[in-house]
Amino acid sequence: MSEILLAPAYSKRRVHNAWAIFDSANSVHALVITAAIFPAYFLNVTDETLSFAGISMYNSTLYAFCISAAFLIMAALSPLLSGIADYGGRRKAFMKFFTYLGSISCMFLFFFEGMATLYVGVFAFILSVIGFTGGLVFYNSYLPLISREEEYDRLSAKGFAFGYVGSVILLVLILAAIINPQWVGLEDAGLVTRFGFLLVGIWWMALAQIPFKYLPQDKKTHFTPKALKMGYLKIIKVWRELKKLANVRTFLIAFFCYSLGVQTTIMLAATFAETEMAFETSELILLILIIQLVAVVGAYLFALLSGWKGNKFSLITQLILWVVVCLLAYSVNTKINFYLVAGLVGLVLGGIQSLSRSSYAKLISGHSKESTSYFSFYDVLEKMGVVLGTFCFGLVSQLTNSMRTSTLVLALFFVIGLLILTRVDFSHSKSESQSTNS
């Protein structure tokens, strides 16, 4: 078992800010590469029907398969990696590895120009997603190591807020250059877009140096092939402990159900707006910016609510609002009203992600020495939620020929998650007890 030693030369505030800055570093991938620019670029520079690995498929299908492949790979690997990190004291080392893997892969997207370089685009994109999701496992595991339990909610909210603001800043800069390529001395918007992918990788790698410097150093043990075995054994041990920890187990089940809906919304909100609401590119960009900026407010708002009424109350409130979002998405008919729905999505998006992470950290606070292994389960559930959620959404859309009907399925998952969450007991948490008694 490795231990984390806080560096006495750095104040807690500086360490907290450095931890939050990592979200600013890698969130540009989630916004620019996964959500806003790369999906449209991929579909624009590839044939609608293409052949990949000898299989004929739509380009949109290939893009979806890339996401599924990346998340499935990380769902399989992250428990092993986090177990090794806990045993061998390699938390920051793995965090660096996945950061460099993701950022360099983004840079390689610069060389993806169309069908002639399709394999470059596909594999660079998959590796960038693996780098993004892999780094988050170890980033999240620092939360209970660098802060007290009563600080979890606000620090988690700060991380998401930094991520939303940082990613929006870079997105706006890239979009401005794409719309007006002459500003950067170019005439080809496609070339500017590819430079944007390069800039994402540079931004990600450069900002990550701050948390790499200020986050606590690992106390490394001698790494041997035995560490691979110990990684598996540690995962098995944590799994057995989870079977005995009723609150943690119940929370993870609830989290899986509602996270499925949250992650599907993140991945497919723009597609829904384009398909069902006939949004143009400029309107989609405004939609994404509304969601991102309002999410900053939501992260802090629901952190304040949790401080007043407790995590459970705050999470339940958000899940009720998520159900409302799904029902509104099913019935909305005008673009103005959909912008309002997007604002509500942003409000609960920032809050649900932030508080879910901090709530889980509170529930496992007595097991902080193995926080990486515990967070790997959290991370795997979130990844599998992406795979299952997008599959269910797509299947229902295919069967009913309507993405609107799929929003009702998401509402069902939110309701199930809400009902299960009501059975979670946070009363053992010091900060939760203080909130509910105030």
| pLDDT for residue 56 | 83
Confidence bin at 256 (pLDDT 50/70/90): very high
Rounded mean pLDDT, 345-373: 79
Q: What is the pLDDT of residue 229?
A: 67
Range name among 80-94, 100-114, 297-311 with the lowest pLDDT average? 80-94
pLDDT for position 103: 97
Residues above pLDDT 90, as percent of the chain: 29
pTM, 2 dp: 0.76
> 158: which 2 tokens?
């700060």
Q: Which residues contact 336 (CB under 8 A, 6 or more apart)?
A: none
Q: How far apart are the first and last CA of the chain?
A: 38
**Average of per-residue pLDDT across 239-262:** 88
Q: Which long-range contacts (CB under 8 A, 24 or more apart) does 118-125 make?
A: 118/46, 118/50, 118/52, 121/42, 121/46, 122/52, 122/62, 122/66, 125/33, 125/38, 125/42, 125/66, 125/70
Mean pLDDT, rounded, for 290-313: 86
Answer whether 43's CB lies under 8 Å from 59's CB. Answer: yes
Please state, rounded to an integer, the average pLDDT across all residues of the chain.
Answer: 82
Q: How far is CA 420 from CA 167, 258, 302, 316, 320, in A?
A: 33, 10, 20, 10, 13
Of 125, 129, 65, 134, residue with least CA distance to 98: 134
pLDDT given for residue 313 in this prediction? 93
% of residues, the chain, pLDDT over 70:
86
Cα 203 → chain centroid: 18
Which of 119-128, 235-244, 279-288 is the most confident on average? 119-128
The 3-state secondary structure of the chain reads CCCEECCCCCCHHHHHHHHHHHHHHHHHHHHHHHHHCHHHHHHHHCCCEEEECCEEEEHHHHHHHHHHHHHHHHHHHHHHHHHHHHHHCCHHHHHHHHHHHHHHHHHHHHHCCCHHHHHHHHHHHHHHHHHHHHHHHHHHHCHHHHCCHHHHHHHHHHHHHHHHHHHHHHHHHHHHHHHCHHHHCCCCHHHHHHHHHHHHHHHHHHHHHHHHHHCCEECCCCCCCHHHHHHHHHHHHHHHHHHHCHHHHHHHHHHHHHHHHHHHHHHHHHHHHHHHCCCCHHHHHHHHHHHHHHHHHHHHHHHHHHHHHCHHHHHHHHHHHHHHHHHHHHHCCCHHHHHHHHHHHHHHHHHHHHHHHHHHHHHCHHHHHHHHHHHHHHHHHHHHHHHHHHHHHHHHHHHHCCHHHHHHHHHHHHHHHHHHHCCCCCCCCHHHHHHHHC
Q: Give the CATH architecture of domain 4-437.
A: Up-down Bundle (1.20)
pLDDT at 431: 47
Residues pairing with 218 in the sheet:
4
Q: Give 142-191 pLDDT, tens digit per residue.
A: 887 788 877 877 888 788 788 878 888 898 888 888 888 888 888 888 89
CA distances from 211 to 23, 207, 371 (A): 10, 8, 18
pLDDT of residue 127 exceeding 90: yes
256 vs 84, which has greater pLDDT? 256
Over 50: is that where the pLDDT of 383 sits? yes
138 with 98: CB under 8 angstroms? yes
pLDDT in tens, 186-223: 888 889 999 999 999 999 999 999 999 998 887 766 66
Q: Give the position of tokens 């009913």.
A: 400
Q: With 60 as the cut, is the pLDDT of residue 433 above it? A: no
Least confident of 173-177, 268-272, 288-292, 365-369: 365-369
Average pLDDT (367-396) is 74
